[in-house]
Structure 1
Amino acid sequence: MEFTAGGRLELRLTRADVGKRVSVRRVSEEGTAGRKFTDTVGVLTSWNDGVLLITRRSGERVAIEESSLVAGKVVPAEPARRRGPSATYPELARASSRAWQPLESERLGDWQLRAADGFTRRANSVLPVGDPGVPLDDALRHVQDWYAARDLPAYAQTATGAEGTQELLCAELEARGWVREVSAELRIAALAPIGDAPDDARVVLGREPGEAWLARYQRKGASEVASKVLCAGPSVWFATVPGEGDVPAAIGRCVVDGRWAGFAAVEVDPAFRRQGLATTVMTALARRALDEGASAAWLQVEADNDGARALYDRMGFATHHAYHHYRAPERSTR
C-alpha cells in the first residue's frame, strides 16, 4: 500500500488503470475493535457505476465498492516462478491445443475455432488468443453462428493468472451473458526429474491407444471421435500397465511437441490405486519424451481433483495459469 508523507494510506488508482495489475485495500467491517480491512490483488477488469471488479489469479472476480476504498496502487506483474520452465500463456495455449486437436478447425484472425462432434470442451471451443481481426461483438456473433451451424453450444476457452492471459476478455464475456462452466489449472514442470526413475517392465508404450487402453479411458461416450482426437498431435505416445483382466490397471497419454511434453488421461483402476502406478506411467512417458528432445512438461488438472493435485505437487508441477470455459448465452428463438 502507498503512504503519504504523513503516514496515511493513499489511493493511487484511476479508471485509466483498467487492465493493469493492482493492489487495493478496503474497509470490510466496522466493529467494536475498530475498522477491519481486506486486501485484494489482481487485474482491474472494470470500474463502472462506483464498483471496481478485480480478477484474481484463480479467475475469481471480486466486486469492490468505490466508497469502501482506503488505498490502492498499480503493482508490477508477478515475478517469474523459480520452479519449472519459463513460458507465456500464448505459448502454452497453442501447445495444449496442438496436443488435443479437433476434427474441424477454422481461423478467425488469430482466433481458432475448434469442433469435434462435442467430444470435450477443449476440442469444441474457440481459442481466442490474439486479435480476431474484427470488433469483439462481431467476433462473438461469428463464433456463435459457427457452432450453431454444427449443432453445438458455443464455448470460449480463456485464462487468468499469467503473462498474456485474458482477464479483460473474461470480463467482456461475462458482461455479454457468457457463463463460466468449468475452471481448471495448467501446470508445468521440468521434465528430467519426472523421468528420473528406474524402468518398469510392466509399462507398454505405443503409438495408438488400442481397445484395452480405451476400455480404461473414462471418456468412452464417443469412442470413434475420441480415438481420432487422442491420436492427433505432433508425436503421440500411449502408456499401458496391464491389469488382471482385459482392462489395464493404468494408462496415460503424452504428446511431444518441441520442448514440451503434455501429459493427459493418466488413469488408474481403483483396485490398483496407492501403488504408484500413475507415477510409473508418467515416468515411462517422460523418458520417451526426453529421448525425443523435450525438456519441459505440462498437464491440466481440475481444481477439485485433490488426489491428482497432490501427486503433481510431489512431482514438481507448479500452476502456471487457470483456464476457463465460458458458454454463450442462449439465443432468442423469436
Structure 2
Amino acid sequence: MEISAAGRLEVRITTADVGKRVSVRSLIEHGPPGEKFTDTVGVLTSWDHGVLRITRKDGESVRIAESALVAGKVVPSAPARRRGPAASYEELARVSARAWRPVESERLGEWELRAAKAFTRRANSVLPLGDPGVPLDEALTAVRGWYGARGLPAYVQTATGAQGTQELLRAELEARGWVREVTAELWVGPLAPVADQGGEPSDVVLSREADEAWLARYRRKGVSEVALRVLSGGPSVWFATVPGDDADVPAAIGRCVVDGRWAGFAAVEVDPARRRQGLATTVMAALARRALDEGASAAWLQVEEDNAGARALYAHMGFAAHHAYHHYRAPEGEGAP
C-alpha cells in the first residue's frame, strides 16, 4: 500500500488510472470479527458513480465503493515470472490459436473471426488481438452477423492476468450483456523436464494422423470431418497412442503441436480403468521428446479451472499458470450489440 511521509495510508489512484493495474485496500462492511480491511490487486476496468470495478488475474470482478477506499496505487502491469519460459500474452495467444486452426476465418481490423462448425470454442470464437478498426458496438454487431450467417452462436475470447490482456474489453462485453460461459488457464513450462519423465518411448506410438483407434479414445464422440481438420491443423502435429488391452481402444492418447520454440499439449486422455498408472505422463514425455527433436524448448497447455487432477499433474511436471482466458457468448435478442 502507498504510505505517506507521515506514515498514513493514501489513495493515489484516480479515474485517470482506468486500464492500469492497481493495488487497493478497502474497508470490509460486514467482515469476520477482527478483519477490517481487504486487499485487491487487478486491472481497474471502471470507476463510475462512486464505484470502482477491478478485474483480478483469474477474471473475477470486484466492485468497491469509493467511500470504502483506504489506500491505493498503480503497480507494475506484469510482475516478473518466477519460473517457466518468458512469454508475452500476444505470443502465446497466436501460438495457441495456430494449434486450433478453424476451417474458415475472416479479419475485422486486427480481430480474427474463426469458425469450424461448432467444434471447440477455440476455433469458433473471435480472437480480439488489437483494434477491430471500427467502434466496439459496430464491431460486435458485425461479429453477431458473421456467426449468425453460419448458424453459430457468437463468442469472443478474452484473457486476463498478464500484460496486454483484455480486461477492459471483458468489462465492456459484460456491460453489454455478453455472458461468460467458459474460463480456463493457459500454463507454460520448460519442455526438457517433461521429456525426462514417463515410461519408455517404446510404450507410445507416434503418428502424424489421428487413426480410428486414437479417435475411439478421444473424449469427443462422433468426431466429424471438420473436427479432424481442426485436430490435424497446425505447424507440426503429432498424435500419441498407448495400446490397451482392447486393440480397438488405446489405454491413453495425446496430441502435440510443435510451433517454433513452443510445443502445445492437448487431448491427453486415459482409460478410466488405467488412471494413476503414469500413462498421461508417459504420453506427454514421448511427445516432448519428439518436440525437442524438432527444436522446441518451451511447452504450453490449456486446463480448465475445475480439473484438479490435471492441474496437479501439470504442476508436478513444471508447468505454471500464465494467464486465464474466457469465452463470452452474445446475449439473446436482436437489439443487443
TM-score (norm 1): 0.97
1:200 aligns with 2:198: no
Q: CA deviation at 1:228?
A: 1.1
For residue 75 of structure 1, what is the aligned residue in structure 2?
A: 75
For residue 249 of structure 1, what is the aligned residue in structure 2?
A: 251
For residue 238 of structure 2, what is the aligned residue in structure 1?
A: 237
1:327 aligns with 2:329: yes
For 1:291, the aligned partner's letter is D
Contact 1:42 1:56 in 2 (8 A): yes
1:298 aligns with 2:300: yes
For residue 311 of structure 2, what is the aligned residue in structure 1?
A: 309
For 2:220, the aligned partner's letter is R
Could you give the per-residue CA deviations for residues 45-99 of structure 1, whole angstroms, max 9, x where no partner exists? 0001111000000001000011111111111124221211111111111100100
In the alignment, the residues of structure 2 paired with residue 152 and residue 179 of structure 1 have an alpha-carbon distance, to the nearest angstrom, of 16
State the percentage of identical aligned residues: 76
For 1:216, the aligned partner's letter is R
Q: CA deviation at 1:29?
A: 3.4
Contact 1:27 1:35 in 2 (8 A): no
Q: Which sections of structure 2, spanning at least 5 residues, go unmatched? A: none
Q: CA deviation at 1:2?
A: 1.5
SS of the residue corresponding to residue 3 of structure 1 reads coil
List aligned pairs for 1:89-100, cutoff 5 A.
Answer: 89-100=89-100
List aligned pairs for 1:17-28, cutoff 5 A.
Answer: 17-28=17-28
For residue 165 of structure 2, what is the aligned residue in structure 1?
A: 165
List aligned pairs for 1:129-140, cutoff 5 A.
Answer: 129-140=129-140
In the alignment, the residues of structure 1 paired with residue 32 and residue 73 of structure 2 have an alpha-carbon distance, to the nearest angstrom, of 29
For residue 216 of structure 2, what is the aligned residue in structure 1?
A: 215
Q: CA deviation at 1:220?
A: 2.0
Q: CA deviation at 1:4?
A: 2.3
Contact 2:186 2:321 in 1 (8 A): yes
SS of the residue corresponding to residue 10 of structure 1 reads coil
Q: CA deviation at 1:333?
A: 8.1
Q: CA deviation at 1:30?
A: 6.5
For 2:212, the aligned partner's letter is E
Contact 1:29 1:35 in 2 (8 A): no
For residue 265 of structure 1, what is the aligned residue in structure 2?
A: 267
Could you give the per-residue CA deviations for residues 182-237 of structure 1, whole angstroms, max 9, x where no partner exists? 00000000111111246331200000010010010001244322111101110000
List aligned pairs for 1:118-129, cutoff 5 A.
Answer: 118-129=118-129
Of the structure 1 ranges 28-37 and 233-242, higher mean CA displacement relative to structure 2 is found in 28-37
In the alignment, the residues of structure 2 paired with residue 230 and residue 17 of structure 1 have an alpha-carbon distance, to the nearest angstrom, of 42
In the alignment, the residues of structure 1 paired with residue 289 and residue 238 of structure 2 have an alpha-carbon distance, to the nearest angstrom, of 11
In the alignment, the residues of structure 1 paired with residue 184 and residue 36 of structure 2 have an alpha-carbon distance, to the nearest angstrom, of 32
For 1:322, the aligned partner's letter is A
SS of the residue corresponding to residue 280 of structure 1 reads helix
| Number of equivalenced pairs | 334
SS of the residue corresponding to residue 122 of structure 1 reads helix
In the alignment, the residues of structure 2 paired with residue 244 and residue 35 of structure 1 have an alpha-carbon distance, to the nearest angstrom, of 58
For 1:83, the aligned partner's letter is R
Q: CA deviation at 1:33?
A: 6.5
Partner residue of 1:287 out of 286, 289, 298? 289
In the alignment, the residues of structure 2 paired with residue 137 and residue 217 of structure 1 have an alpha-carbon distance, to the nearest angstrom, of 39
Distance 1:249 1:51, change over 3 A: same
For residue 181 of structure 1, what is the aligned residue in structure 2?
A: 181
For 2:291, the aligned partner's letter is A
Contact 2:215 2:223 in 1 (8 A): no
For 1:62, the aligned partner's letter is V
Of the structure 1 ranges 76-85 and 224-233, higher mean CA displacement relative to structure 2 is found in 76-85
Q: CA deviation at 1:163?
A: 1.4
Contact 1:80 1:86 in 2 (8 A): no
Contact 2:160 2:166 in 1 (8 A): yes
Give the root-mean-square deviation of aligned CA atoms: 1.6
For residue 55 of structure 1, what is the aligned residue in structure 2?
A: 55
Contact 2:214 2:250 in 1 (8 A): yes
For residue 113 of structure 2, what is the aligned residue in structure 1?
A: 113
Distance 1:257 1:35, change over 3 A: closer
